[in-house]
């Protein structure tokens, strides 16, 4: 279903997909041992759970989720989108190296439990190898559209 939606929106066919919910996101970050994130401006948002002053933090999954969801900053959703890209980039930069092999016994069961995907164990291994040996650059593309409330 998601492959059809991606194709309908972009015209791009996808061979593999993975969907993760908030709980799964937190558990994956925790299975990786957290992620070091530098917070540039104060973030105090009860709705997202973000409560950070500027500085560098080793974030748990819960904290990383709050950081990535917070909209209560100077640029709102634009900041949120930038933080999400930054967070994913930091996870890849910090965790996708040869030491990921030692985390595989904790990580693969979490990925299998917490995601909906058509990935096999071999697919995870190949993806890990690609991320370990890649230049770790992430490109974010925004698909133009309109907001709507649908009942």
CA quadruple 148, 21, 95, 73: dihedral positive or negative?
A: positive
CATH number for the domain that contains residue 89 = 3.40.630.190
Is residue 151 in some structural domain?
no
Q: What is the pLDDT of residues 45-98, one digit of tens each?
A: 999 999 999 999 999 999 999 999 999 888 888 899 899 999 988 998 888 777
Distance CA 64, CA 142 (A): 22
Is residue 15 in some structural domain?
yes
Is residue 41 in some structural domain?
yes
Total number of domains constituting the chain:
1
Which pLDDT does position 144 carry in this prediction?
A: 67
Q: How many CA atoms lie within 13 A of 56 on its CB side?
A: 3
Q: Which range marks the domain in which residue 125 is found? A: 2-133
Q: What is the pLDDT of residues 85-137, one digit of tens each?
A: 999 889 988 887 777 777 878 888 888 888 888 888 788 778 777 777 766 56
Is residue 148 in some structural domain?
no
């Amino acid at each position: 279903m998601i492959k059809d939606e991606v194709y309908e929106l972009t015209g791009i066919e996808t061979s593999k997909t993975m969907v993760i919910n908030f709980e799964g996101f937190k558990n994956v970050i925790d299975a990786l041992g957290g992620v070091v994130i530098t917070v540039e401006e104060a973030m105090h948002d009860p709705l997202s759970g973000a409560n950070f002053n500027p500085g560098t933090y080793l974030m748990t999954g819960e904290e990383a989720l709050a950081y990535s969801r917070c909209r209560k900053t100077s640029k709102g959703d634009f900041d949120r989108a930038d933080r999400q890209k930054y967070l994913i980039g930091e996870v890849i930069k910090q965790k996708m190296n040869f030491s990921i092999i030692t985390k595989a016994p904790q990580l693969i069961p979490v990925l299998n439990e917490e995601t909906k995907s058509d990935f096999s164990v071999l697919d995870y291994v190949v993806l890990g190898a690609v991320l370990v040996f890649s230049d770790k650059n992430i490109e974010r593309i925004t698909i133009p559209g309109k907001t709507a409330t649908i009942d």
